[in-house]
Structure formats: structure tokens, C-alpha cells
Structure 1
Amino acid sequence: MTSRPTEEFTGRARVIVGENDRQDFGGMLSGGLTDTLLAKASFSKRDYDGHLDNVLDGQTRGKVDTLAWRGQLLWMPNDDIELLFTVDGADDEIGDTNREPVGHAGDSVNGDANDPLAVNKAFGGDGDPWSAANDEVGYTDRDVDGYALRLNWDLGAMNLTSITSWRESNFDWAEDSEGLPGLSTTDPTVAPELGFRRDVTDSAHEDTEQFTQEFRLDAQGDTLDWVVGAFYSEEDVDRTETFCIPNCGGKIIDVDYGRLPNNLIVNSSIQSNDSTSWAVYGQTTYRLTDTVSLTGGLRYSYEEKDVSFGGRIDDGIAPVGVFIQENFQVDTDDDWDNVSGKIAVDWQFSDDAMFYASVGSGFKSGGFIGSPSTPERAETSYDEETAINYEIGLKSMWFENTLKVNVAAFFTDYDDLQVTRFTQLADNPGNAFGEFITENAAEAEIMGLEVEFTWLATDSLEFGGSFAYLDTEYKDFTPGVANLAPGGGTEPCASDSTPVSDDPADGCIPDFSGNDLRQAPEFTTNLYGKYTLDLGDIGLVSAKLSYSYQDDSFYDPDNNDITTIPSYEIWNAHVAWLSAGGHWNVTGWVKNISDEEYRTHIYSQRSAQIAFATFGAPQLYGVTAQYEF
């Protein structure tokens, strides 16, 4: 939650300069305008030239130009009422996120224009995740405006809170899905140095408006605390997503092809989504003794979605083996409701330690696939997701408050877990690129352990960190739609799939039961050490070294090796000076000291035959200077 305006006049100015011409500016002013009216204003501006070198045109990609701002007025007409009005906005212009070919399997890779690794190598981008070879310039442009009014009213025996908000955003986005130059010909034997035959550019425009209203009543007593409330939300989203094959026009090497004659432009997601949701809830905490508290709560939730989908082929002649999609218009709706709850007990068994245990249920409403390729998929909703979470934990301080240790163990049991995957489906064999679908895994489980600590070893030396362990599994997950069989629907199903019939064209039903959940690394670790030296009137100098580790994880529920995020380690460091009065702070920093090449996202195409990943930033350094008053 953003801090509120202050009565005292305060301010802050911050500048960051760094590698690749990074220049950030930020500031804040806060103070009283009158005895009953306080104000606060802040902004943050970032400019960054990017760290991706495009081997086709020699340009630097991945530029960032963002501006965010916020203004607040706090009116306190008397001791019982507060009105806080907040307005905020953001204007973001963000450049390319490079897609790098990282894997292949099967016969679709043969050293010609079908082979993304060969194409990437031919253009000089092979082996370097920060070298781009895309001919389409990707971007993200986003404008956001928000308004909120919060009322806090002390009624004596209880407090009334009202939160009203309105947000609207405009979003434009484009990405070369393979990070490679497109090729106009449909001949699969074309040499890779001429481009990638299966290149696809994905772009989207989205307008969103959202209104929310919440009312709460709460009270605190000697032995009983309680809160009741109601929440209402309306959200309207209009989105158009366009696929250009092989590209949306532009330069391949130094030749401007404009709109290629065999481009196929598919407005595969012309979507309008109107969502209405509301909920009522209540929770109470009763102190059984001075050290034991019992908490219970219930929530009823309802959500309705009215959607309109359109899909069409606009123009062009489809290259062999890409999108074949019928024109359609579908209007449909669905609704979901749920009662969820929580029971928890806290035991403060000493002044420095508390044990807790809880059981709670959760709910996530169903929905519709965002980019359906057929009218049948457009009008079919996926189910709501429910979960029951069991947790026990310890929060503790030791050795005269020099060591803090928090431990939590949990088990989450999901019913109808919503899973999104990218695949080719047997009922749409012409879509060789693939499509995103969301399905329900009948049963899934997560078991985990989390530990965090902070140790003040001396007055100058501090250590800290966290550790997490996850054991995840799809207990029962057999999708309701068939994948395209190998060989474009001509070969027998793999051993872990069941054929729909004797005809391979009818597809294969995969079975993900027993697999790990997607994006769930088994181990994650964060550690740091910090040394602070007191220089008296000169101020404080500190040095901090931090380390993070993430185990390998899967991005697809089939746990295909081609869509794995390998484990990685990141080292960061900084040296800082804080003036004796606390007004000045200057920090020199280095991120990703070892220049680790690590993936942040990955997806596969052509029935998991080829894979493309985005990578985190390389080693970067800079200086941050801040003045507060």
C-alpha cells in the first residue's frame, strides 16, 4: 500500500545512471496545505537504450521509456472522518523482448528454412541470447489511468471503510514469435540464410475499463475482533489479436518487402469480455486466552462473464502448413459461484515466538479461451478452480532479537486447476503454429516448505535469506481435447498418449497425470550478507552481496525437455554511502555479476518440435543517488 501524505513537509529526489545509457529520475513531495488538507505527489521516469543487438540491421533493441506518477489528497474534516483521493497514471513504451531459438526435436528440423536453429546461425545470432535476429520490431505501448476514493469513518463502536476505484488502460503489443526473419516462399528446401519459412508475428490491441466498490465494517474489542464487507466489480475488455504470416511487412536483411503477397493475416481473437463479480464476506478473531486466538471466516463469491468472439482470415493465401481457420462470430456467457472459508489458530507461546495453523479454501472463477480458433472452442468455457490449503508455521525471534526465523509448511489440494498450454489440436490440423488453450486438471497437489531468516551477527554484520521447497504433481490430468498426432496427424501416437481411434488424423489424448506442475521449481534460495561501517560524522558505508538460485522447471504440463527452464544462479552486489544526517544516499551496484544466461520464458511450436525462449538481462552496472529532506 502506498504511504499517505504527511503533515510535515518532506521530499525526495532520485537519479539512476547505468550501463546502456540508463537514466532514471524520480521525486516525491508531501506536506500539509491546510490544517485539514494534506497532499502528496510523486513520479518516476526511466530511459534505457536496451541490451539486445540486432544482427540484421545493427540496431540496439529492447529500449525502455516509461513514466509513472501519482497524486494524493487527504482531507480530515474532523477527528472521525478521513477522505483520501488518489489519481495515478503510467505511460510505457518498451521495445523488443528477443525470442531465441533454443531447442528442436523430430524431423521438422532439417537444416533448411524449417530449422530455426540453422536460420539463427546463418544470420549470426546463434549462441548469444542477447543478439536478436528478428526483422519485425516488437514493442509494448501501455497507457494507464486510475482514480480511487477511500473513506475511513470512525463510528465509535465500529469503523466504516469505503473504497471506490476506476481504472482504464490502452495496450498495444507486438512480437516476432520466433525472433527470426520471415521468408516469403513456401518451399521447405530453401536455404536457412534466406529466412525462416514458419515465421509468425503476433500483435494485439486491448482496451480495458474497470470499476470496483468495496464496503467494510470492522471493530476491535478486548477479546473479539470482527469485519464484514461487500465487494463489487465490473470490467470491460475489448481485444484484437492479429497473426501475420510470415511477417507483417518490413525489411529482411536490407530488402523492404512490405506486405508479402502470400501473407495470411488472421484476426484470431476479436474479443469483447464483460465481467461482473460480487462477494460478501465476514471474519472474526476471538482471543480464547492471553496467548491463544481463534479466527474464522466465510466468503461468498459470484462472477458472470459475457463474451463475444470473432475469428477470420482477412487476406492472402496461406503458406503450406500454417493457419487454416474458419470465419466465425460467437456470443456466449457463463457464471460461477462459490462459498470459501478459513479457520486458523495462533498460539503466542512466548514473548518471542508464535505458532499458527490454518485451513482455508479458495476459488478462481472459470472463463473462456482468449484466442479461440474454432467456434466450438469459443463457446465452451472452462470450469472454476477450487483449492484447500493446509498450513502450519512458526514466527520467532532468538538471542535477544538478533536472529529472526520464520518457518511455514503447507499442502494445497486443487480441484479443476486451470492450466494454460500451447499446442496443436487434432480438430484444427491446419494450425501448424499451435494455439493457447486453457483446461482443467481434475486433481493437482502442491506440498511445500518455506524458511526465512535474518541474523545480526554483530553490530556491523548481517546475514539473511530464504529457502523454499516444492513438491508438485498433477494427480489426474487427462485433457478433453486431442492433440495433433505426430507427422502432422499421419503417424501413431506417442507412448504417453492414447489414440482417439485407429485413424491417426483423429489425434491423441495426452495424459499429464504424475507430471510436475508448470512453473514450479523444486528448490529456490535467496541469501545475502551485508557489512556496515560507521564512519561517524562522515556517515555509514555498507557493502552487500546477494545470491539467488532457482531450480529447473517446466513451462508445459507434458514436462517436455524442450520447454524446460534450466536452473540458474544470480549474484548481485552493491556498495552504499549514507550521510550522517540520513539525507544523502549514494549506491554503486552490479546486477548479474557472473553474466549468467538464464531463461525467463519459453514456449514450443509444431507439436513441441521447436522451442523459443526469452532471457534475463546480462551483467549491468550503475549508480543510484538519492536526497531526502
Structure 2
Amino acid sequence: MRLKVLSCGLVGHACMAAWPLAVLAQQPAPTDSAPTVSELTANEIIVTARRRDETLQTTPVAVTALQPSMLEAKATMNIGDLQGAAPNVLITQQPTGASTANIAIRGIAFADVEKSFDPAVGVNVDGVYIGTSTGQFLDFFDIESIEILRGPQGTLFGRNTIAGVINIRRTRPTGEWGAKLEASYGSYDTIGLRGVLNIPLVEDVLAVKLFEFHQQTDGYMRDAFTRERLGRNNSENFGATFLLTPTDNFEAILTLEEQDQRFDSYFGSLMQTGDVFCSFVPAEACNRNKTDDIYEVFRAIDSRGKYRAKAATLEMSLDTDPLRFDSVSSYRESKERQIFDLGEPGLYIADRDQKYHQFSQEFRASGQLTDTFDFVSGLYYFVSKYRLYQETTVFGAFAGAQDTRGKSESYAAFLDMNWEFAPQLRLSGGGRFTHDKKAYRNPFLYSGAAKESWSKFTPKVTLDYRPNDDMMVYGTWSRGYRSGGFNGRGLTVYSASTPYDPETVDSYELGLKSTFLDRAVSLNIAGFYTDYKDIQQSSTITLAGGQGNETIVTNAAGAKIKGIEADLTVQPIDDLTFRASVGYTDASFRGFLVEQPVTLADASIITRVFDFSKVNPIFAPKWTLSLNGEYVVRLEGETTLTFTAGYRYLSPYDQQIAPDPSLYPGLLADPNGTSVVPVPRNDPRVRSDPQNLLDLSVSLAFPVGNGKSRGRLTGFVRNVLDDRGPSFAFTVATFPPLWAYATPREPRVFGVQLGFEY
């Protein structure tokens, strides 16, 4: 039996059980000949990691398939809660943008909110690529499947997927009357109200799913003086999905949705003696620790933001057997404005107003032409435009405005094939040709527009061997590509009009997928080596006159990344499941040279070349570990009690390329020298602490009324150990440093949820 990864939302019987039971809950009642729970192990999960339905254990890709019940049982709310759920995967929220995620996989990341920059990890929702980091921090209610693909996925998912892909699918309209409702309350006056209503409009022809998600919180930061709670967030996500099935071989799915968010964005101070701004802030705002202190804010103004995004997605498929044709069309637009007190308190205030829209169209043809050969091919088009207008105030005085406008276009054609050329031996491969064009304008700096284009072919070759039904070994070589572009925050004519080039990776991977002990145990292992070239590295530097700073991207480095990762699932008895994953990454730069201006003690300006080859790459923890357990107690009738526990460990990692200020005297000992200055490490302030995150929950699921409806009551605790520290840390400028700030991660949180499904 092959089963899709199924969703139960945050309500219903499936959410209360271990994940194999969540799958069973969607199936007819078992008969004497039906498979037992222990037979329905991970190798029966269907994934779409290669744009075709395949079992997890026969897909030659390092992919983690996360059943929604695994996350919902611990009250997972958004994509950030995936952090630690898969090996070598890191997800944090970028505080200077609305619903913005910083995502790293296998030591490859790009952390910036600007829409002129492309993310390194592709986030796909219902087959649609989200073109910026803004909007990637998604709500996790009403999800059908989540797949985390590790390693470059350029052949099928396109450019800007050099680190991997997070592939998310939401549930389809059922065509039957039904509803899922949930209310929750937790620490910091966090309230959630969520609902999905399924309605059959025309029996077997037209159905609709209506959804509404509301989330609000008072936040877990405080004003250092008034003790007022800070960090408020109010988010609404609503829409409708229509399913049209006029014939047996054609269907169309149209989703219309909108997200409205109003939020505060406050930062804890990481300023220290030696930072320029430290001389102008209250004494207690400097030299603070990175644990409890960063939960306090020295506020001068209300830092606030608003974000509105609308989207329409149309998916159509026609099955002509043996060929299938798919079309995915999508339009997304967003408007946002944020006013940030970045310098604390009131020394550097940015008022940012942005507009963005994207359109994408993909056509695919696929088919099983023979018993041993299948393929997926397609054409893809993507276009986006954005405008950013920003005004900046420094020390209470107007310090200038920025008006940047950008356009990006991408065309691609791709082909991916499987050929079983001998018993148990399969050769897979293909490639994608991509052509990118970008244009950039900054009328405050220069007239006209800067333009550039790039083209790249990204191939992939995989050989896998299946000696029996319970084992597969594979080897893969693939190439990934991330488009070049322009610096959206360049403040000089040169930096704003000079493009940076694409970056590429060549990835080599060996993997093993196996099940044993009557499929009660599954173990997947992958080892990888990545040659990372022309890395697009973001740096915040002091301007060449010493007046202000700018954030620019340069192709400054290459890197070698190697590592290993493993996923283990053990089900010793029907109602008990253990899961574990571990990842190890060893990443190091090579040839990372940066030329930048330096302000000396006598206020003179010189230019030096710095060698950052010895510093740590950003968002690349050496170790990630997760341990999870679920146990189901069956009570009277169909009532169940489910206990879950999950532990995640993340070793320290750097969040920015920024020289350690304590080394400045040594680095600049020879101000007139011309030799390259070595930088041995990053600023300790941008280094995270080790994270030990423990989550617990208990859920009672019970029938309601005639038994066709289900109720659920869940109590949960996230971050039981109250492990505190920075979720995001940043220093502004170097030589000299101006200031530094951080946002804290979620502290210990208690909550309760009440759900109902019929």
C-alpha cells in the first residue's frame, strides 16, 4: 500500500496519534487482511521531491518528509518550528522584514531582507516559488505535506535552490461537507483562532475550501524602563480554494488568498565599549549579555510595521495516459512599511516603504513511457518587480533618502529522466538551462538603469542500486546556480550600478536508504561534499568618506563544505514511535578577500585588503540533532491519550561576516602597510550560543456526538528548559563599528488548544 503524507490540521483524531496512526486515521477501517501499523513505515510515504509521486525510500534524494501531525502535536505555528526537525537545516526569522525567513541547509545561506537579493533556499508552496525571503515565514495550519530537500535542486526547482528546497503543499478541497476548527491560548497573551470549511458546490464537479487563520500576541520583550510588554503581532491569513473536476482526467485548482500583518520590531542592544554609538546611549545599554539582557529594549519610538500580501494560484492537470500535462500559474503582490529604531534609543531610525509583485508560469509534461523509463520536462517563466523608498534619521537629523527599483526576469527549460537500464540499477539525470535578466535603478544616485544578464546550464546525474525491497544506495553529482544581481542598498554610484556575478555549487553525495526488522526500523544516511564558488557575500561597511555605512554584496569567496546526516525511525510496538536525526557540517572559506575603507584614530581614511578566509561561514552549525518520541494510550471507545516529547540541539554558529573588534589594533598595526590583513574570527556578538530546546505535549482525542466528529484538547510546553539567547544578531559597519543589535528567540511558552473536526 502506498500512502500520501496526509494532514489533519491541528484538530481531529489524526493529530493525537503517532504519525503512523495519523496516516491510518485517513483510511477505511482495517479488515483482517489490512496491513498492521508496523507495516506502514516511512518507506510507504509518497513524496514529490522529483516532481513525480515516489516512495520516500526509493527516491535518490536526501529528503525529510515531515508529517503535519509530528509538528502539530507540539503546537507548531510556522516554518520556524522546522528548525532542527531535519539534519543540517537552520531556520530563523529575519527581524527587519515582514514574515521573513533566513534559511540555511548544509552550511549554505543568504540572510538579507532586500528584494534585490535572491534566497539560497527555495520555498515552494503548492508548486509556486516564493521569490524573496519576505513571505517565507509561513503559517502551518491546514498542511498536507512538507518535504525538505537537501542539496542543490536546480534541475527541477530552478535557480536559487543551491542549498535545497522546502516543498509545502496545502490540503485540497474534499468535495464533502466538513470543517476543522481550533482555538488556542498561550503565554504572553497569545491567541490563535483557525478554521477550514469544506463545501461541495456541485457534486463531483466543483468544491470549495474556505480558510481563515488569526494569530495575535503581546510579545515577550520588555521596555527596559517602563517594563511594558513589546513585540506585538497581529496576523490574518484568509482565502478560498476551488477544485474543478469536470472529467475523470482533468482538474483545476484555484487558490485566492490574502495575508495582513501588523507587528512590532524591537531589538536588544549588543553595543559594547568601542562602538561609536555606545557613547550616546544610556550606560546600561552597553556591554550587556546575550541571554536575558537582549529581551529588554531601550525604546525611543514605537518600532512598527504593516504587511499586506495577496496571491492567486491556478494549477491545472490533464492526464492522457501515458502522458500527463501540468500548468501552474501564480501572481503574488505585497505592500509593506516598517519604521525601525535600529540604533537604540532613537540614534538610527529607518522608515522603509516597499512594493513587490511577481508572476510565474510553469508548464510540465511527464510520463511513464515504458516499464523502465519515465521523464519530467517543462518550461518556466518568472518575472518580479519591486520598489523600495527609505528615509533615514541619524541622531535626530534627516540623513538622506533612498529610492531603488528593480526588475528580474528568468526563462528556463528542463528535463529529468529515470532509466532502469538493468535489474535493480537505475540511472537518473537531466538538466536545466536558465537565462536571467535584471535591471536596477537608483535615481538619487544616477540617471538611467543598470542592466545585466546571465545564463547557466545546471545538470544532475544519479545512479542508484536496489539489491532488495528494503535497501537502496545511490550516488549523485549536481550543480546549483544562484543568479547575479545588483546591490539594493548601495549608496555610491559604483556599488549601486556594478552587478555581482552568479554563484555556483558542485555537490557530490552518497546515500543509503534502508528498512529492516519487518520495516519497524528505517535508517537513511547521506554524506556530501560541496565545492562552492563565487559566493555572494553580504557585508556592511563604512563608506569611503567615513560618513555612514552601506550593505553590499560581492563575489568574495569560495568554500569547501562536507558533512554527513542521518534520519532514523523506530517503531518497536504499534503505539510507540521514536525518531532521531543528526547532521554534521564542516564548512570553510577559501580566497575570501575584501577591500574596504578604514577610519583610523586620527580620523584619516585608508583602504586595506582583508582576508576573511579563516572566519566561520554564516548559519553553518557543525552539529544539529533531534530526538522525538510519541506514545499513544488507547482509552475507552475511540478515545486516545498521546504523549509527545521532542529535543533539538544546535551547536553555535555565526550569523554575520564581521571582524572581531578586539583584534582591530593588531589588524591595523601598520596603517601604511600594503599587505593583506588576516582576520582570524568574526565578532563574538554575532555568534549564537549552543541551543538545547525541549518541547512536551499531551493530547486527549475523543469522539463527539455520533462518533463521526472528533474533538481534541492539547496542552503543550515549548522550550521547557527556557533556553534563552539570540535568534538573530548583527553588527553595523566595521573600522570603526557603529553599533550592534539582536532579537531574542522564543523563551519558555505554555499553552492549550481546543480543536473540533467533522
Q: TM-score, normalised by structure 2?
A: 0.70
Partner of 1:218: 366
Cα distance change, pair 296–51 in 1 and its aligned pair in 2 (3 A): same
From 562, 568, 571, the counterpart of 2:694 = 571
What is the deviation of 1:291? 1.9
Helix, strand or coil for the counterpart of 1:562?
helix
Partner of 1:233: 382
- Is 1:489–1:507's contact at 8 Å kept on the other side of the alignment? no
What is the deviation of 1:352? 1.5
What is the deviation of 1:76? 1.6
Partner of 1:72: 241
- Whole-Å Cα distance in 2 between the matches of residues 560 and 95 of structure 1? 27
Residues 246-265 of structure 1 mapped to structure 2, 5 A cutoff: 246-247=395-396, 263-265=397-399
Cα distance change, pair 122–105 in 1 and its aligned pair in 2 (3 A): closer
| Residue 452 of structure 2 corresponds to residue 452 of structure 1 | no
- Is 2:290–2:725's contact at 8 Å kept on the other side of the alignment? no
What is the deviation of 1:272? 0.8
Partner of 2:357: 209
| Residue 394 of structure 2 corresponds to residue 245 of structure 1 | yes
Structure 2 residues without counterparts, runs of 5 or longer: 1-168, 660-681
- Whole-Å Cα distance in 1 between the matches of residues 622 and 287 of structure 2? 37
Cα distance change, pair 424–537 in 1 and its aligned pair in 2 (3 A): same
State the number of aligned residues.
559
What is the deviation of 1:126? 10
What is the deviation of 1:441? 2.9
Residues 269-418 of structure 1 mapped to structure 2, 5 A cutoff: 269-311=402-444, 328-329=446-447, 331-418=449-536
- Whole-Å Cα distance in 2 between the matches of residues 12 and 175 of structure 1? 38
Helix, strand or coil for the counterpart of 1:354?
strand
From 182, 192, 208, the counterpart of 1:14 = 182
Cα distance change, pair 303–121 in 1 and its aligned pair in 2 (3 A): closer
Structure 1 residues without counterparts, runs of 5 or longer: 183-198, 248-262, 312-326, 491-504
* RMSD over equivalenced CA pairs, Å: 2.3
What is the deviation of 1:160? 1.2
| Residue 598 of structure 2 corresponds to residue 484 of structure 1 | yes
State the percentage of identical aligned residues. 24
- Is 2:271–2:286's contact at 8 Å kept on the other side of the alignment? no
What is the deviation of 1:275? 1.1
Bigger mean CA offset, 57-66 vs 122-131: 122-131
| Residue 304 of structure 2 corresponds to residue 181 of structure 1 | no
- Is 1:125–1:132's contact at 8 Å kept on the other side of the alignment? no
Instruction: Name the amino acid aligned to 1:461.
Output: L
Bigger mean CA offset, 273-282 vs 130-139: 130-139
| Residue 331 of structure 2 corresponds to residue 166 of structure 1 | yes
- Whole-Å Cα distance in 2 between the matches of residues 424 and 155 of structure 1? 61
- Whole-Å Cα distance in 2 between the matches of residues 108 and 275 of structure 1? 38
Helix, strand or coil for the counterpart of 2:174?
coil
Q: TM-score, normalised by structure 1?
A: 0.84
- Whole-Å Cα distance in 2 between the matches of residues 552 and 218 of structure 1? 44
Partner of 2:139: none
Instruction: Name the amino acid aligned to 2:750.
Output: Y
- Is 2:272–2:287's contact at 8 Å kept on the other side of the alignment? no
- Structure with bigger gyration radius: 1
- Is 1:296–1:343's contact at 8 Å kept on the other side of the alignment? yes
- Is 1:55–1:124's contact at 8 Å kept on the other side of the alignment? no
From 524, 536, 561, the counterpart of 2:684 = 561
| Residue 209 of structure 2 corresponds to residue 92 of structure 1 | no
Instruction: Name the amino acid aligned to 1:60.
Output: R
For residues 386-437 of structure 1, the C-alpha deviation after alignment (integer angstroms, 9 at most, x for no partner) is: 1111111112212122222111111111111111122224x24211xx3211
Bigger mean CA offset, 542-551 vs 117-126: 117-126
| Residue 735 of structure 2 corresponds to residue 585 of structure 1 | no
For residues 75-120 of structure 1, the C-alpha deviation after alignment (integer angstroms, 9 at most, x for no partner) is: 1221222121111110011112x322235354758xx734x57242
Partner of 1:535: 635
- Whole-Å Cα distance in 2 between the matches of residues 117 and 402 of structure 1? 60
| Residue 691 of structure 2 corresponds to residue 526 of structure 1 | no
- Whole-Å Cα distance in 1 between the matches of residues 380 and 291 of structure 2? 52
- Whole-Å Cα distance in 1 between the matches of residues 404 and 427 of structure 2? 46
From 430, 447, 466, the counterpart of 2:547 = 430
- Is 1:235–1:275's contact at 8 Å kept on the other side of the alignment? yes
Cα distance change, pair 440–124 in 1 and its aligned pair in 2 (3 A): closer
From 223, 244, 262, the counterpart of 1:54 = 223
Helix, strand or coil for the counterpart of 1:4?
coil
From 730, 751, 758, the counterpart of 1:603 = 730
- Is 1:364–1:385's contact at 8 Å kept on the other side of the alignment? yes
Cα distance change, pair 511–294 in 1 and its aligned pair in 2 (3 A): same
Helix, strand or coil for the counterpart of 1:570?
strand
- Is 1:415–1:441's contact at 8 Å kept on the other side of the alignment? no
- Whole-Å Cα distance in 2 between the matches of residues 367 and 488 of structure 1? 37
For residues 576-609 of structure 1, the C-alpha deviation after alignment (integer angstroms, 9 at most, x for no partner) is: 1122557112110111112221211111135174
- Is 1:99–1:132's contact at 8 Å kept on the other side of the alignment? yes
Helix, strand or coil for the counterpart of 2:495?
helix
What is the deviation of 1:621? 0.7
Cα distance change, pair 107–210 in 1 and its aligned pair in 2 (3 A): closer
- Is 1:103–1:562's contact at 8 Å kept on the other side of the alignment? no
What is the deviation of 1:174? 2.2
- Is 1:448–1:471's contact at 8 Å kept on the other side of the alignment? yes
- Whole-Å Cα distance in 2 between the matches of residues 587 and 475 of structure 1? 50
- Whole-Å Cα distance in 2 between the matches of residues 380 and 233 of structure 1? 23
Q: Taking CA–CA contacts closer than 8 Å with sequence separation of 6 or more, which of the two structures ends up with the larger relative contact order?
A: 2
Instruction: Name the amino acid aligned to 1:210.
Output: Q
- Whole-Å Cα distance in 2 between the matches of residues 439 and 488 of structure 1? 29
| Residue 743 of structure 2 corresponds to residue 614 of structure 1 | yes
From 244, 254, 279, the counterpart of 1:113 = 279
What is the deviation of 1:30? 1.8
- Whole-Å Cα distance in 1 between the matches of residues 389 and 284 of structure 2? 30
For residues 168-192 of structure 1, the C-alpha deviation after alignment (integer angstroms, 9 at most, x for no partner) is: 11011222113x223xxxxxxxxxx
| Residue 587 of structure 2 corresponds to residue 472 of structure 1 | yes
Instruction: Name the amino acid aligned to 2:366.
Output: D
- Is 1:56–1:123's contact at 8 Å kept on the other side of the alignment? no
Instruction: Name the amino acid aligned to 1:44.
Output: F
Instruction: Name the amino acid aligned to 1:173.
Output: Q
Instruction: Name the amino acid aligned to 1:264.
Output: F
Helix, strand or coil for the counterpart of 2:175?
coil
Cα distance change, pair 273–108 in 1 and its aligned pair in 2 (3 A): closer
Cα distance change, pair 287–80 in 1 and its aligned pair in 2 (3 A): same
Cα distance change, pair 39–484 in 1 and its aligned pair in 2 (3 A): same
- Whole-Å Cα distance in 2 between the matches of residues 41 and 290 of structure 1? 48
Instruction: Name the amino acid aligned to 2:328.
Output: I
Helix, strand or coil for the counterpart of 1:583?
strand
Bigger mean CA offset, 205-214 vs 552-561: 552-561
